[in-house]
């Protein structure tokens, strides 16, 4: 497992599963954390651009909230995945996180699974 750390605080953890990168936010990504999120996003895209990954699973099992800055990052990740002809799938999302995706109509673009294993299976189909 790899982590991106900003000033001593972990923002994301990563796990590689074949051609899929599992991205796990480890803190609630609130708007007050926008600088941390943006810096971690820069590091994340540097990692992705040097990689062989095609798919991304966003696993929210450690969080229950994210704001618009994080949502913008997730959209950028989705666009990156599309350019690689891959898929972005979400899993383990809280009721509140689900609501945010529904309001933004992103639940229509990104499959949402209950478990990581289900999400990993879905990206391989």
Q: Give the C-alpha separation, 65 to 50, whole Å.
A: 29
Q: Give the C-alpha separation, 39 to 104, whole Å.
A: 24
Q: Kindly list the strands in the beta sheet with 88-91, ordered across the sheet, starting from the edge strand earlier in the chain.
A: 2-6, 9-17, 20-25, 55-59, 88-91, 112-113
Q: Give the pLDDT confidence score for residue 125 in this predicted structure.
A: 86
Calculate the dihedral angle through the C-alpha atoms of 82, 4, 2, 41, rounding to the nearest 10 degrees: 0
Any idea which fold 2-124 has? Transcription Regulator spoIIAA (3.30.750)
pLDDT digits (tens, 9 = 90+) for 93-118: 999 999 999 999 999 999 999 999 99
Confidence (pTM): 0.91
Average pLDDT, integer, range 61-84? 96
Q: Give the pLDDT confidence score for residue 94 in this predicted structure.
A: 96
Higher pLDDT, 10 or 49: 49
pLDDT digits (tens, 9 = 90+) for 25-56: 999 999 998 999 999 999 899 989 999 899 99
Where do the domains of the chain lie? 2-124
Average pLDDT, integer, range 63-75? 95
């Amino acid at each position: 497992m790899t982590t991106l750390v900003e000033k001593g605080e972990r923002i994301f953890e990563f796990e590689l599963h074949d051609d899929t990168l599992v991205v796990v936010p480890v803190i609630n990504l609130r708007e007050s954390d926008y600088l941390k999120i943006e810096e971690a996003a820069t590091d994340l895209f540097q990692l992705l651009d040097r990689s062989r990954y095609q798919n991304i699973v966003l696993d929210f099992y450690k969080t229950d909230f994210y704001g618009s800055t994080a949502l913008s990052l997730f959209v950028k990740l989705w666009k990156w995945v599309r350019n690689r002809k891959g898929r972005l799938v979400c899993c383990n999302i809280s009721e509140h996180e689900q609501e945010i995706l529904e309001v933004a109509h992103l639940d229509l673009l990104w499959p949402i699974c209950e478990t990581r294993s289900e999400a990993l299976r879905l990206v391989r189909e």
